[in-house]
Amino acid sequence: MATTSPAAFGTGPSQAADSNASGIIFMALAISLFAMQNALVKWLAADYGTIQIIFFRHAFALLPIGLFLWRSGGLSRLATSRRRDHIVRALLGLLATGAIFYAFGQMPLANATAIAFTVPIFITALSVPLLGEQVGWRRWSAVFVGFVGVLVVLQPGPDMLDPAALILIAGCFIVAFTMIMSRKMSRTEHTATIAGYVTVISIAVTAIFLPFTWVTPAGTDWLLFAGVGLLGGVGFMLVTHAYRVSQAAVVAPFEYIHIVWAIILGYLVWNEIPGSNVAVGALIVIASGLYIVHRETMHARPPLARRKLHPR
Residue 157, strand partner residues = 160
Residue 242, pLDDT score: 85
Average of per-residue pLDDT values in the chain: 84
pTM: 0.82
- Asked if 160 contacts 141 with a C-beta cutoff of 8 angstroms, the reply is no
Least confident interval from 96-110, 191-205, 279-293: 279-293
Residue 89, pLDDT score: 95
Residue 103, pLDDT score: 95
Residue 305, pLDDT score: 42
Percent of the chain with pLDDT over 90: 43
Give mean pLDDT, residues 119-124: 84
Give mean pLDDT, residues 68-95: 91
- Asked if 257 contacts 28 with a C-beta cutoff of 8 angstroms, the reply is yes
> What's the maximum distance between 2 C-alpha atoms anywhere in the chain?
66
Residue 127, pLDDT score: 83
In terms of pLDDT, which residue wins out, 208 or 8? 208
Q: Each residue of 228-250: pLDDT tens digit?
A: 999 999 999 898 888 887 776 67
Residue 306, pLDDT score: 43
In terms of pLDDT, which residue wins out, 18 or 90? 90
Helix/strand/coil (H/E/C) assignment for every residue in 151-208: HHHHCCECCECCHHHHHHHHHHHHHHHHHHHHHHHCCCCCHHHHHHHHHHHHHHHHHH
Residue 307 has pLDDT above 70, yes or no: no
Residue 304 has pLDDT above 80, yes or no: no
